[in-house]
Amino acid sequence: MAAKEMSQVKNILDLSIEEKRNFLNSFDFLMTDCDGVLWNLFEPIPGTGEALRDVEAVGKKIVYVSNNSVRTDEAYEKKIVGIGATYRQEDLVHPIHTIIHYLKKINCQELIYFIGTAHTTNLLRAAGFNVIVGPNERVEEDFHKLVTLVKDNQPVKYVIMDVDFNYGYPHFLRAELYLRDPECQLILGATDYRLPMMAGFDLPGPGYFMDALALTLPPGKKPIVLGKPGVGLGEILKEKYGVTDPQRVLFVGDMPLPDIKLATNNGFRSLLVLSGGTSREQMLANEDSTQIPDFYADSITALSTLIQSLPPQSAL
Residue 299's identity, in one-letter code, is S
Q: Any binding-site annotation on 54?
A: no
**124, 112 in Cβ contact below 8 A?**
yes
Q: Any binding-site annotation on 265?
A: no
29-32 β-sheet, strand order: 10-11, 295-297, 269-273, 249-253, 29-32, 61-65, 92-93
The single residue of 33, 54, 162, 192 carrying the catalytic annotation is 33
Q: In angstroms, rounded to a whole number, what is the distance separating the alpha carbons of residues 62 and 88?
A: 10
Count of CB atoms within 10 A of residue 10's CB? 15
Q: Any binding-site annotation on 122?
A: no
Count of CB atoms within 10 A of residue 244's CB? 7
List helix spans (H) across the chain.
17-24, 48-57, 73-82, 95-105, 118-126, 143-150, 169-179, 207-214, 231-241, 261-266, 280-285, 302-309
Q: Any binding-site annotation on 11?
A: no
Q: In angstroms, rounded to a whole number, what is the distance separating the alpha carbons of residues 289 and 240?
A: 28
The single residue of 14, 35, 202, 259 carrying the catalytic annotation is 35
Q: Any binding-site annotation on 228?
A: yes
Q: In angstroms, rounded to a whole number, what is the distance separating the alpha carbons of residues 39 and 80?
A: 9
Among the listed residues 216, 132, 136, 210, the one whose alpha carbon sits nearest the alpha carbon of residue 170: 136
Q: In angstroms, rounded to a whole number, what is the distance separating the alpha carbons of residues 294 and 11?
A: 9
Q: In angstroms, rounded to a whole number, what is the distance separating the alpha carbons of residues 30 and 32?
A: 6
- Verify whether residue 33 is a known catalytic residue: yes
Q: In angstroms, rounded to a whole number, what is the distance separating the alpha carbons of residues 2 and 269?
A: 15
Q: Report how far apart, in Å, the C-alpha atoms of 139 and of each of 68, 115, 143 are.
A: 29, 17, 10
Q: Any binding-site annotation on 16?
A: no
Q: Any binding-site annotation on 145?
A: no
Look up residue 39 and give its DSSP letter: B
Residues tagged active-site: 33, 35
Annotated binding site for substrate: 66-68, 228
Annotated binding site for Mg(2+): 33, 35, 254
Annotated binding site: 33, 35, 66-68, 228, 254
